[in-house]
Amino acid sequence: MQQFPCPFCGLRNEQEFHFAGEAGKTRPDTMKEVSAEQWSAYLNHYNNPMGKTCEIWVHLPCQEYFVMQRDTVTMEVFASEQIRKDLK
């Protein structure tokens, strides 16, 4: 069983996590004209990299979304960081 690092709960079993998508996508600006190709690329197209990747995951028990960097071949996890900004 692999353990993933939740930025809030620490190392937890992999079943507690859900893959939410690749990091770095920007939702099209709906105040402007958005073509079918742009929507499709945003909704459906992925880099799906072999090797190092940067993804958004959710830790289901605490419901926090975070960014995790890992390797899709070796399954090694390099880092995880919170998306939420601390209140000032």
Partner 1 sequence: MTKTYSAFNIIKEAFKGHKGWSPAWRSPKPKAQYEVIIIGGGGHGLATAYYLAKNHGVKDIAIVEKGWLGSGNTGRNTTAIRSNYFYPESCALYDLSVRLYEKLSIELNYNVMFSQRGLMVVFHSEAEMEMAVRGMNAMMLGGTDARLLDANEVKQRAPLLNYRADARYPIHGAVIQERGGTARHDAVAWGYARAADALGVDIIQNCEVKDVIIEGGTMTGVETNLGPIRASRFGAAIAGHSSVLARMAGYQLPIHSYALQAFVSEPLKPVIDVLAFSSTYGAYISQSDKGGLVIGGGLDRVPSYGQKGNMPMQENVLSGIVEFAPALAKVKLMRHWAGIVDVTPDSSPLIGPSGVEGLYINCGWGTGGFKAIPAGGYLFAHLLATGSHHEISRPFDPSRFQSAQLIDEGAASGIAH
Q: Which of 4, 13, 3 is nearest to 67 (CA)?
A: 4
The span of 25-33, 58-66, 73-81 binding partner 1 (CB under 8 A) equals 73-81
CB-CB contact of 54 with 69 (8 Å):
yes
First to last CA, the chain: 38
Q: How far is the CB of 44 from partner 1 (least distance, A)?
A: 4
Positions in 7-46 near partner 1 (CB under 8 A): 13-15, 18-19, 36-37, 39-41, 43-46
Residues that bind partner 1 (CB under 8 A): 1-2, 13-15, 18-19, 36-37, 39-41, 43-51, 53, 55, 72-75
